[in-house]
Homo-oligomer: A and B are copies of this chain.
Amino acid sequence: MDRLIEAIAAKENPSVIGLDPRPELIPEQLLMDEGQSQPSPVLYAAQLASAYYSFNKAIIDAVVDLVPAVKPQIAMYEALGPLGMDVYVLTCRYAQEQGLQVIGDIKRGDIGSTAAAYAKHLTGSNVVRGQEPLSGDELDNCAWGPGLWYEDAITVNPYLGSDGIRPFAQAAEEGDKDIFVLVRTSNAGELQELELAQGGRAFEAVGDMVEDWGSESIGEHGYSRVGAVVGATHPSEGAALRARMPHSFFLVPGYGAQGGKAADVAGMFDAQGSGAIVNSSRGVIGAWRQDPNYQEDMGHEETLDLVGRNARRAAMAMRDDLRAALRA
């Protein structure tokens, strides 16, 4: 987790922007050809995917000096089929090229060799056997460059237990990357809240497992390569988990549009103000929708500028909000 922690420290900003595009967050003109005045009666997945990429790049460009990381939600791309996955990867690659950490919110999980296959998100290469080619000609054979998914960390699901998580933890070690295990998510009750015969609830038992899975990969800053997803909408549980899981870095979704406030997440940080990174998606990438300057007849470039300016303003407000809560 060292690289992420250092990136947060460099920007003095423990926040991450969720790149979760949806049709309703995309300005209508980005779905039309430049100069077209009426929406086409039919919108293809390929058109939407292409608009997602322009939209994401505008947001990345606007926040790159402010935030340490972005978190693309793969489901939004997967909803467009395999070509949506292409745009997911292009987005990750573009963000990495700009120097951002990329947390792939992929929530994968399986056992043994199948988990190891998913873990190629962290260690995979377009060269699956033999030596990495050095010449330009051979590199040209890799449609996507040498990388596969361009993620620095991914989220994973613990339902399949140790046999499911260890292959991811091992890939994280090999690839100098990180994973975040779902522990306590926003608005997800039943299973996580089951009361256990041994005392405590199921998510607390998962929290203990996370500490254990990470015990061999603790980095320079005291946190392991196995972090935890802990939703902002459970402030007191989050603070209790912080105490219970001293070596597990937290990824905290649910700030902003989902209802979590800076005061709610303050308890998920450690005494030094480290130990967590807070995600906001819609509140940042959809901020343009509250801008009275938006007009439906703006051109593509002007629209992307407006999207970027609003995202930057929202990202700055979130950063200042978190800084103030952590000083308090």
Known: A78-B117, A81-B149, A112-B187. A48 touches B159 (CB 8 A): no
Is B44 within 8 A of A128, CB to CB? yes
Is A141 within 8 A of B44, CB to CB? yes
Known: A89-B81, A196-B195. A110 touches B112 (CB 8 A): no
Is B107 within 8 A of A109, CB to CB? yes
A291 within 8 Å of B (CB atoms) = no
Q: Which of A202-210, A259-267, A272-280, A296-304 is the interface stretch?
A: A202-210
Residues 209-241 of chain A, each 1 if its beta carbon lies under 8 Å from chain B, else 0 = 100000000000000000000000000000000
CB-nearest residue of chain B relative to A258? Answer: B112
A127 within 8 Å of B (CB atoms) = yes
Is A198 within 8 A of B198, CB to CB? no
Q: For chain A, what secondary structure do more than half of its interface residues adopt (helix, strand, loop), or is it mixed?
A: mixed
CB-nearest residue of chain B relative to A121? Answer: B78
CB-nearest residue of chain B relative to A48? Answer: B128
CA distance A211 to B28 in the complex (A): 42
Residue from B40, B159, B195 within 8 A of A192 (CB atoms): B159
Is A111 within 8 A of B195, CB to CB? no
Smallest CB separation, A80 vs chain B (Å)? 7
Total count of chain A residues near the partner, CB < 8 A = 79
Q: Which of A1-9, A61-69, A161-169, A307-315 is the interface stretch?
A: A161-169
Residue from B112, B118, B128 within 8 A of A43 (CB atoms): B128
CB-nearest residue of chain B relative to A187? Answer: B163
CB-nearest residue of chain B relative to A198? Answer: B195
CA distance A197 to B198 in the complex (A): 8
CB-nearest residue of chain B relative to A164? Answer: B188
A271 within 8 Å of B (CB atoms) = no
Is A162 within 8 A of B148, CB to CB? no
A326 within 8 Å of B (CB atoms) = no
CB-nearest residue of chain B relative to A41? Answer: B130
A179 within 8 Å of B (CB atoms) = no
Is B109 within 8 A of A157, CB to CB? yes
Residues of B within 8 A of A45 (CB): 124-128, 142, 148
CA distance A157 to B107 in the complex (A): 10
Known: A42-B131, A43-B130, A45-B127. 10 other contacts (CB 8 A): A45-B148, A79-B118, A82-B144, A159-B182, A160-B185, A161-B188, A164-B188, A190-B205, A196-B197, A202-B202
Show 22 A/B contacts (Cβ-Cβ < 8 Å), sorted by A: A22-B117, A23-B128, A41-B130, A42-B133, A44-B128, A75-B117, A76-B114, A78-B121, A79-B124, A80-B124, A83-B144, A109-B159, A111-B188, A159-B159, A159-B185, A160-B191, A162-B189, A163-B189, A190-B205, A194-B205, A195-B198, A196-B197
